[in-house]
């Protein structure tokens, strides 16, 4: 028997020898203890941005305890049966623990000093519009990338635990209490303070819709057939040493074929998510993507990675089309009856969109240089009309009309010009009608373009411009905080009202509580009157 | 005025002193622990503990009004001092930082969103526009005494006299 690799460095596929089993088992149990301890300690941290974070960490710790029990049961079974397969099953526990350790880092970073906590709840609210009951954990990452993890937490752990937990019921019990679905979204830590770029979170939320898009089967088959034929021809020509192999054997080891197919899938997802972002967040999603795309360093690094993403130019072109179809450009043109500032703002946005159009038109590299990935992208582009139709139909009922969002612009821009947060849609300060997230983003971007804070080239900002940009950033954050707080506070008041109502019905007679509830009811009713 | 969600808690043990003469912005910020609370979870202020908080309300004063921040008497009776530097300049816009101290005998819970202070507003003679360093703050901010011109006297006396 050759030496077994340390479980900490990697898992060998060789069957475990009896001699090493005890050591391996002890190590496995030790790591479940470590995971549980670590999760317990992390769950005690008090500055997480949302309640889901410590809840998920706690669940991971409990999973470690369950795995420990399962490991011991599995080992006991092996001792009874002496079957090598029972022993080898311990490997799946090993992999599971490694995955859980890696997963622990996802919620662990969602702390209030790193994540704009106020944004988390509003993003979760947006996710809830797409998937009822959805929760979101927003977390930073060092790498420059906005990313949504592939599966929601529930699906991920049902797949992960399927082989090690005894029944589906026990997995469901473990997952009980977590929002269903719960998504984890990462944003680049460097953009922590940059509220305007956070409009890109709309793209990540768009992935929830993009996953539901299924390209026509016939088109998929035709593309795969063509790609296989082209690859085969290419390989037969370039690799004469393969002449003895059959077609299937030649293609079975071909990574370019796989990449070409993946490129088409990835491109469709990205395009669909971009369109969804335009519907969900509006023009700020387009403007933020343009700023990202204009950053030469980021663009080159992304395209040099050899990834399967479509080029920024093509994505921008598609987003512009989606914005037009969603009615955003018409809404911008319809501000003729609004005040002067709003008209200027609308013109500034239109001019900026014109600049984006010009940039898209002048982009020299229309497709990535890799021939096979470009073939996948071209196949995806043939399906773009159907992607647009799909996204438009899905968002027909669940998002506000662009004209409604633009209608809030005069009041919010007026507030921004007076150095007030763009959160309140009413004229009088005595009443508070909270703005929506997309309205805040749009007003903030519009003001940014009005006061000429550069978006494409930020290399040479004057002190005054930096100050203006910083002020705008703060006001936007405060606006989001106000709106979020408003929702939270009234949810709490409502809960108190319901609780005190049920206490009245059951005849609870504790004087202080009754007094509190009456006061709260009075406050709630007076707030409601004020809101009217 | 209601209490905001963010707090800065000065750390006692990680620096020998709160040296606002020598410390720059980063070092001063490191002397505080940033804490955020939602309306459901309280922040406990222990006896003699000092906490920087801020009002939840973002105010924008016109150029001809000034105001003073005064704590609520109900909270004052529990031993909570809300603000020590109470004047707000005309033309100021932003949240107001509260210097909260518990001078009572027992810990006190503070909830984000609770009514904590009041403003007494005065009309000024003439107008003035605030252009100070705390303009447009949206939460508590640490002091910026290192920016004071006179601090150069104690920070680097030789260069100060040379400059003159």
**Looking at the 3D structure of chain B, how many domains does it have?**
1
pLDDT category of residue A460 using cuts at 50, 70 and 90: low
Question: Is A179 an interface residue toward B (CB < 8 Å)?
Answer: no
pLDDT category of residue A291 using cuts at 50, 70 and 90: confident
Lowest mean pLDDT, pick from A15-19, A54-58, A286-290, A334-338: A15-19
pLDDT category of residue B3 using cuts at 50, 70 and 90: very high
Cβ atoms of A138 and A119 within 8 Å: the answer is yes
The verdict on residue B1 lying in a domain is no
The pLDDT value given to residue A515: 39
pLDDT category of residue B160 using cuts at 50, 70 and 90: low
CATH of the domain at B118: 2.70.40.10
Q: Is the pLDDT of residue A10 over 50?
A: no
- Of all residues in chain B, the one with the smallest CA distance to A112 is B36
The pLDDT value given to residue A299: 55
Give me the mean pLDDT over the A236-253 stretch.
Answer: 76
Known catalytic residues of B? 99
Give me the mean pLDDT over the A408-436 stretch.
Answer: 85
Q: Tens digit of pLDDT for each residue in A70-104?
A: 888 888 887 788 777 777 777 788 888 999 999 99
Among the partner-chain residues B39, B135, B138, the one whose CB lies closest to the CB of A488 is B39
Alpha-carbon distance of A285 to A282, in angstroms, equals: 6
The verdict on residue B129 lying in a domain is yes
Q: For testing the chain B interface, which of A481, A516, A523, A527 should be mutated: the one with the most B CBs within 10 Å?
A: A481
Cβ atoms of B108 and B156 within 8 Å: the answer is no
The CB-side HSE value for A500 (13 A sphere, CA atoms) comes to 20
Range of the domain at B158: 6-162
Q: What is the pTM of this model?
A: 0.82
Q: Is the pLDDT of residue B88 over 50?
A: yes
Q: Is the pLDDT of residue B68 over 50?
A: yes
Question: Is A24 an interface residue toward B (CB < 8 Å)?
Answer: no
- Of all residues in chain A, the one with the smallest CA distance to B133 is A467
The pLDDT value given to residue A527: 46
The pLDDT value given to residue A452: 75
Residues 87-116 of B with CB under 8 A from A: 93, 95, 112-113
Q: Give me chain A's average pLDDT, please.
A: 80
Q: Is the pLDDT of residue A17 over 70?
A: no
Among the partner-chain residues A419, A482, A488, the one whose CB lies closest to the CB of B38 is A488
The verdict on residue B130 lying in a domain is yes
Alpha-carbon distance of A285 to A281, in angstroms, equals: 6
Give me the mean pLDDT over the B49-59 stretch.
Answer: 93
Q: Write out chain B residues lying below 8 Å of A485, CB-based.
A: 5, 39, 56, 112-113
Question: Is B58 an interface residue toward A (CB < 8 Å)?
Answer: yes
Q: Write out chain A residues lying below 8 Å of B35, CB-based.
A: 46-47, 112
Which of A118-122, A492-496, B44-48 is the most confident on average? B44-48
The pLDDT value given to residue A517: 41
Alpha-carbon distance of A301 to B83, in angstroms, equals: 51
B113–A112 C-beta distance less than 8 A: no
Residue closest to A75 by CA, chosen among A118, A152, A21, A147: A21
The pLDDT value given to residue B136: 84
A112–B35 C-beta distance less than 8 A: yes
Q: Is the pLDDT of residue A219 over 50?
A: yes
Question: Is A424 an interface residue toward B (CB < 8 Å)?
Answer: no
Q: Is the pLDDT of residue B163 over 60?
A: no
Cβ atoms of A453 and A472 within 8 Å: the answer is yes
Q: Tens digit of pLDDT for each residue in A426-457?
A: 766 667 788 988 999 999 999 999 887 766 66
The pLDDT value given to residue A378: 85
- Of all residues in chain B, the one with the smallest CA distance to A469 is B136
The pLDDT value given to residue A276: 92
Determine the distance in angstroms separating the CA of A309 from the nearest CA of chain B, rounded to an integer: 38
**Chains A, B: CB contacts under 8 A, how many?**
49
Q: Tens digit of pLDDT for each residue in A130-151?
A: 888 899 999 999 888 889 987 8
Residue closest to A202 by CA, chosen among A313, A108, A321, A323: A323
The pLDDT value given to residue B146: 77
Among the partner-chain residues B35, B41, B113, the one whose CB lies closest to the CB of A485 is B113
**Euclidean distance between the first and the last CA atom of chain A, given in angstroms as a whole number:** 79
């Amino acid at each position: 028997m050759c030496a077994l690799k340390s479980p900490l460095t990697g898992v060998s596929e060789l069957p475990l020898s009896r001699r090493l089993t005890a050591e391996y088992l002890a190590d496995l149990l030790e790591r479940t203890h470590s995971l549980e301890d670590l999760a317990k300690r992390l769950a005690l941290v008090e500055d997480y941005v949302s309640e889901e974070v410590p809840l998920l960490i706690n669940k991971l710790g409990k999973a470690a305890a369950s795995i420990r029990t399962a490991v011991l049961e599995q080992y006991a079974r092996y001792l009874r049966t002496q079957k090598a397969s029972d022993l080898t099953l311990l490997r799946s526990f090993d992999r599971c623990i490694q995955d859980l350790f890696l997963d622990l880092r996802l919620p662990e970073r969602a702390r209030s000093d790193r994540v704009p906590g106020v944004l988390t709840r509003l993003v979760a609210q947006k996710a809830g519009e797409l998937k009822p009951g959805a929760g979101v954990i927003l977390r930073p990452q060092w790498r420059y990338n906005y990313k949504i993890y592939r599966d929601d937490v529930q699906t991920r752990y049902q797949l992960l635990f399927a082989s090690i937990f005894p029944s589906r019921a026990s997995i469901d019990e473990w997952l009980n209490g977590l929002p269903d679905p719960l998504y984890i979204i990462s944003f680049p830590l460097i953009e922590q303070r940059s509220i305007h770029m956070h409009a890109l979170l709309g793209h990540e939320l768009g992935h929830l819709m993009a996953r539901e898009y299924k390209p026509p089967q016939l088109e998929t088959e035709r593309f795969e057939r063509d790609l296989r034929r082209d690859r085969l021809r290419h390989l037969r020509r370039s690799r004469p040493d393969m002449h003895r192999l059959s077609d299937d054997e030649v293609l079975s080891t071909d990574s370019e074929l796989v990449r070409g197919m993946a490129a088409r899938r990835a491109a469709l997802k990205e395009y669909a998510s971009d369109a969804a972002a335009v519907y969900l967040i509006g023009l700020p999603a387009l403007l933020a993507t343009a700023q990202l795309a204009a950053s030469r360093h980021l663009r080159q690094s992304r395209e040099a990675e050899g990834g399967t993403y479509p080029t920024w130019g093509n994505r921008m072109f598609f987003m512009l089309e989606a914005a037009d179809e969603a009615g955003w450009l018409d809404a911008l043109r319809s501000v003729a009856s609004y005040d002067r500032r709003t008209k200027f703002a609308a013109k500034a946005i239109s001019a900026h969109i014109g600049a984006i159009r010009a940039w898209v038109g002048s982009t020299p590299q229309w497709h990535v240089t890799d021939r096979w990935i470009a073939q996948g992208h071209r196949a995806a582009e043939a399906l773009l009309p159907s992607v647009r139709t799909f996204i438009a139909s899905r968002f027909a009922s669940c998002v506000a009309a662009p004209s409604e969002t633009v209608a809030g612009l005069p009041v919010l821009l007026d507030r921004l010009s007076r150095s007030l947060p763009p959160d309140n849609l009413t004229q009088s300060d005595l009443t508070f009608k909270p703005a929506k997230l997309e309205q805040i983003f749009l007003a903030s971007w519009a003001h940014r373009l009005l006061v000429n804070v550069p978006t494409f080239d930020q290399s040479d900002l004057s002190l005054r411009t930096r100050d203006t940009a910083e002020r705008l950033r703060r006001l936007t954050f405060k606006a989001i905080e106000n709106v979020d707080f408003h929702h939270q506070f009234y949810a709490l008041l409502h809960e108190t009202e319901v609780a005190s109502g049920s206490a009245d019905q059951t005849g609870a007679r504790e004087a202080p509580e009754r007094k509190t509830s009456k006061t709260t009811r009075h406050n709630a009713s007076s707030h409601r009157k004020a809101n009217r | 005025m209601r209490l905001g969600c963010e707090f800065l808690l000065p750390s006692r043990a990680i620096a020998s002193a709160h040296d606002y003469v020598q410390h720059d912005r980063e070092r001063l910020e490191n002397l505080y622990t940033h804490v955020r609370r939602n309306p459901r979870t309280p922040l406990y202020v222990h006896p003699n503990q000092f906490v920087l908080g801020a009002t939840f309300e973002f105010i924008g004063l016109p150029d001809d009004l000034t105001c003073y921040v005064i704590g609520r008497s109900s909270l004052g009776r529990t031993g909570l001092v809300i603000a020590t530097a109470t004047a707000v300049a005309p033309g100021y816009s932003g949240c107001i930082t509260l210097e909260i101290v518990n001078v009572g005998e027992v810990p006190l819970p503070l909830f984000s969103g609770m009514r904590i202070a009041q403003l007494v507003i005065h009309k000024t003679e003439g107008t003035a526009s605030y252009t100070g360093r705390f303009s447009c703050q949206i939460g508590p901010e640490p002091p910026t005494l290192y920016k004071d011109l006179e601090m150069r006297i104690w920070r680097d006396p030789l260069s100060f006299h040379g400059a003159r």
